[in-house]
């Protein structure tokens, strides 16, 4: 079980619990087993989830998105509720089921080659 701080009360300070599934190599780097549960302040977006993920696991900074530009790294994809969010704005709201914690945000390492 992953420890999470108590949830804040009120409209602006409400934290949203987001489930995140990472590829094996990132879980190994961060010493994570299973999925991650993150408390995200504000709207649930790819940016807010990655901000919370990198704050909790600083060793993941630069592995999912570029340090300088903040853009998604090549061969990394984001899926939620069977929708591809990889090419959407990082501030696009995630589906309600992800924001409610019933469905995870999937961070997938894409494979290329022939």
pLDDT at residue 5 above 80?
no
Both structure tokens of 108: 């997938």
Cα end-to-end distance, the chain, whole Å: 40
Entry pTM: 0.83
Indicate the number of domains in the chain: 1
* Per-residue pLDDT tens digits for 34-68: 999 999 988 999 999 999 999 999 999 999 999 89
Both structure tokens of 50: 């990655």
Element (H, E) at 37: strand 36-41
Q: Could you give the strand order of the β-sheet that contains 83-84, starting from the edge strand earlier in sequence?
A: 36-41, 15-21, 105-109, 76-80, 83-84
9 part of a folded domain: no
Residue 58's contacts (CB-CB under 8 Å, 6 or more residues apart) are none
The pLDDT of residue 42: 87
> Which residue range is the domain that position 72 belongs to?
15-109
62 part of a folded domain: yes
Read off the CATH number of the domain in which 93 is found. 3.10.20.30
């Amino acid at each position: 079980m992953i420890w999470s701080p108590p949830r804040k009360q009120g409209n602006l300070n409400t934290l949203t619990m987001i489930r995140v599934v990472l590829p094996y190599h990132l879980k190994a780097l961060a010493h994570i087993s299973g999925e991650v549960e993150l408390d995200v302040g504000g709207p649930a977006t790819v940016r807010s989830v990655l901000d919370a993920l990198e704050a909790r696991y600083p060793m993941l900074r630069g592995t999912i998105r570029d340090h300088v530009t903040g853009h998604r790294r090549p061969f990394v994809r984001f899926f939620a509720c069977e929708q591809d969010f990889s090419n959407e704005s990082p501030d696009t709201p995630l589906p309600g089921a992800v924001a409610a914690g019933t469905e995870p945000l999937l961070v997938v390492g894409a494979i290329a080659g022939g």
